[in-house]
Amino acid sequence: MDLMTTQRPSPVTPTVDLMADGVQHGFLRLPFSRDDSAWGSVMVPLTVIKNGIGQTALLTGGNHGDEYEGPIALFDLARSLKPEDVNGRVIIIPAMNYPAFTAGTRTSPIDKGNMNRSFPGRPDGTMTERIADYFQRVLLPMADIVLDFHSGGKTLDFLPFCAAHILPDKFQEAKSFEFVEAFGAPFSMKMLEIDAVGMYDTAAEEMGKTFITTEIGGAGTATATSVMIAKRGVSNVLKACGIMAGEIDPQPTQWLDMPDGDCFCFAEEGGLIELLVDLGDTVTKGSVIARIYPVTRTGAAPWEIHAKMGGILTARHVPGLVKPGDCVSVIAVAV
C-alpha cells in the first residue's frame, strides 16, 4: 500500500459519537452507489456503551457472514447492556461484514470479499476492504481488548472453543490466554492458522492488542448450547477486564493445541463423505477418519483419509459432499 492510500480518510462515517457517555445504537455508514440506490449506503449496525474512563472492549461477530453464535450473543448484549453496568467502553458490531451477514454467506455478495483476508484494507478498495480499513485505522486503535466471534459457517463444524495465537511477544500471548481461560468455553485452543496473512487477528495482534477469538459450533446455524457458551463467554471477558462489574462464571475447560500442519486433513478427491469419528472423539495416528465415495458409479472403493497425528477430532467438514481441496478434519492435542 502506498503512502497516499494510507493517508486518505476513510469513507466510513459512524452515525453515533464513539466518545460519548451513555448507550448509542447506530451504524457505520459506507457509501455504496449502485443500480437500486444511486446515493445509497451499506449500514453496519453498531452499539457503543460508555461510562467514564476505563478500558475499551471491541466485540465483533459476522466477520464471516454465515456464522451465528457471535451475532446472536452480540445483538442480545447490545440491547441489554446498560451504561451503569460498564466502567469504560464497549463497542459492539454484531455483523462486521454486514453484506455477507445479510446474504448468509461467508464472503460479501458485493465483491466476494473475505473480511478475514482483507486486512489492513484500503480506503479506496472494495467494500470489504473499506470496512477493514476503518477497523484497522479507527476502531482497533481505540481498543484494549478485542473479541472476534467465529464459528464453522456452512462448511465446517467445531468443538466449542475460545482461542488465541502463539505470539512473539510472550507477555501479550500470556494475557491473551488469560482471557481465553476467562471466556470459559468447554475447550480452549492455542491456535495455528493455515494462512494468517490479511487476518483481523493479525492486524490486532501486530498493534499489541489483547486479541481472542472463538470457533463455537458451525454447520450454518447455532444451537441453544452454542449460544449459551457465546453469551456466557462475552460476559466473562468483560468482567475479567474490569469493564463489567461482578464475578466471572468460571468453567472447566480442556486446553487444546494445534502443534503443526499435520492437524489438518484435506480432500484430494471429491465425493460423498463418511466420517468414521465424531467431534470430540479420540483418534490415533494413521487411523482412517473418513471415507470419500466416488459418486459417479457403484462398486468403486472409497478414498480413505488417514489421521496424520493422534488427538481429538476438533473440526469436521459439512455438509455431505466434499470437493478436492476441502478441509475435511482438524485434529488437536489435549495439553
Q: Residues interacting with Ca ion, by CB under 5 A? A: 64, 150
Nearer CB in complex with Ca ion: 89/150: 150
Task: Quote the least distance from Cβ 124 to Ca ion, whole Å.
Answer: 26
Task: Quote the least distance from Cβ 228 to Ca ion, whole Å.
Answer: 20
**SS3 of 100-115:** HHHHCCCCCCCCCCCH
Q: Which residue is nearest to Ca ion (CB)?
A: 150
Task: Quote the least distance from Cβ 328 to Ca ion, whole Å.
Answer: 17
Grid cell 472453543 is found at: 161
Rounded-to-integer distance, Cα 94 and Cα 98, Å: 9
Nearer CB in complex with Ca ion: 106/190: 106
Nearer CB in complex with Ca ion: 134/158: 158
Nearer CB in complex with Ca ion: 64/165: 64
Beta carbons of 33 and 40 less than 8 angstroms apart: yes
* Strands 56-60 vs 145-148: parallel, antiparallel or unpaired: parallel
Indicate the SS3 state at residue 267: coil
Nearer CB in complex with Ca ion: 109/302: 109
Indicate the SS3 state at residue 36: coil
Task: Quote the least distance from Cβ 105 to Ca ion, whole Å.
Answer: 12
Rounded-to-integer distance, Cα 229 and Cα 186, Å: 8
Task: Quote the least distance from Cβ 148 to Ca ion, whole Å.
Answer: 9
String of b and e for 265-298 (b: at least 16 CB within 10 Å)? bebeebbebebebebeeebeeeeebbbbbeeeee
- What are the backbone dihedrals phi and psi of residue 148, each rounded to the nearest 5 degrees, phi first? -115, 110
Nearer CB in complex with Ca ion: 47/107: 107
Task: Quote the least distance from Cβ 20 to Ca ion, whole Å.
Answer: 32
